[in-house]
Amino acid sequence: MIFTSPLWLFALPLALLPLVFGAQQEQAYPSLSEFETDPLSGTIDWALRMAGITAIAGLILGNAGIAWSEQSIERIGEGAHIVLLIDRSSSMDNNFAGQQTSGGEESKSAAARRLLKDFVAKREHDRFGVAAFSTSPMVVLPLTDHKSILFAAIDAMDRPGLAFTDVGRGLALAMKMQAQDPSHASRAVVLVSDGAAVIGRRLQDSLRTEFARQRTSLYWLFLRTAGTKGIFDVPASGEEDTPQVLPERHLNKFFQSLRIPYKAFEAENPEAVAAAIEEISKLERMPIAYNEKVPRRDLSRWAYAIAAAGLFILLLAKLFERGIGPNGGRYGAT
């Protein structure tokens, strides 16, 4: 509770004035001693005094600029801090058959977008961040629980993508975003991509360190285009087995070697993507505590509203006031 002009508070004792003075004109009467006090009148008297106190106190507090100070509230939710790491390479704009979309066909990015939005909408207590990567990674949205911003960020995937797929730096960025959040929530990175790339040896080492430090789950949602090599394809004997030839297989092997909770989903059509997302949402159910900042809230309008209510009651009482003198005239106390 703070006040923008606290000097006004010196006037606050004035609020006690209604205890001493009534709002109505006093009228001399010969003798009241023979009449018993009337409970209803007593209640009204008390209520009017209270109304007077509220009116004066409300006006003073309103002038003093009463407000709630900025606060941070700790909330406990079930869920996780999830960074959606989304591939923005141009191949995402193709359909699952690897062709340019035409007519009613859904591109991979559109399917991913639709399903991710469903996912986000279902997970009420999670906080999400969004990062995108193609040639270089970029933060789209830091971790937040404001769903409308999230939807907008996911919609932003719609923009036409760029050529390359730099998974390694994307992951590094996602880990950095997670590291910025100091809470003890369970963490997850959902990597959505339709291809893989070679991660350099040096970057591999740094990622290994990061994942070991932060205990982050990793889900890889691989939107496989028909006819391309899959994650789990074992090359036939005699075929070359190098990251350059089979980047997906080797990236998967790299993730498995991280010794973190890791699961890869290979989805070849929108239904498979939906199933994969369903599974991720089953896996990530841990209670999390997080702080939410509440900005300073100005309460002076409420103070004025309460004062107005008090004044309204007093005004009503004034309208109902009657005199006992001739023609409703009023007499002083003596």
Binding site for another protein (CB under 8 A): 22, 24-35, 37-38, 40-42, 44-45, 48, 317, 320-326, 328, 331, 333-334
The distance of closest approach from Cβ of residue 53 to another protein in the complex, given in angstroms and rounded to an integer, is 15
The distance of closest approach from Cβ of residue 58 to another protein in the complex, given in angstroms and rounded to an integer, is 22
Specify the 3-state DSSP secondary structure of 80: strand
Q: Which residues, at least 6 apart from 137, have a Cβ–Cβ distance to it below 8 Å?
A: 131, 166, 169, 170, 172, 173, 174
Q: What is the DSSP string of 139-196?
A: EEEEEE--HHHHHHHHHGGGS--BS---HHHHHHHHHHHHHH--S--EEEEEEEES--
- 23: how many CB neighbours lie within 10 A of its CB? 16
- Select 294 or 324, whichever has its Cβ closest to another protein: 324
8 A C-beta contact, residue 303 and residue 66: yes
- Select 302 or 331, whichever has its Cβ closest to another protein: 331
Specify the 3-state DSSP secondary structure of 51: helix
- Select 36 or 240, whichever has its Cβ closest to another protein: 36
- Select 120 or 317, whichever has its Cβ closest to another protein: 317
- Select 27 or 300, whichever has its Cβ closest to another protein: 27
- 240: how many CB neighbours lie within 10 A of its CB? 8
The distance of closest approach from Cβ of residue 39 to another protein in the complex, given in angstroms and rounded to an integer, is 10
- Select 202 or 322, whichever has its Cβ closest to another protein: 322
The distance of closest approach from Cβ of residue 57 to another protein in the complex, given in angstroms and rounded to an integer, is 21
| HEC string for 191-207 | EEECCCCCCCHHHHHHH
The distance of closest approach from Cβ of residue 60 to another protein in the complex, given in angstroms and rounded to an integer, is 25
Q: For residue 222, what are the CA distances in angstroms to 39, 273, 288?
A: 78, 9, 28
Distance, in Å, from the CA atom of 301 to the CA atom of 76, rounded to the nearest integer, reads 31
Distance, in Å, from the CA atom of 67 to the CA atom of 157, rounded to the nearest integer, reads 41
The distance of closest approach from Cβ of residue 22 to another protein in the complex, given in angstroms and rounded to an integer, is 5
* DSSP type of residue 106: P
- Select 40 or 163, whichever has its Cβ closest to another protein: 40
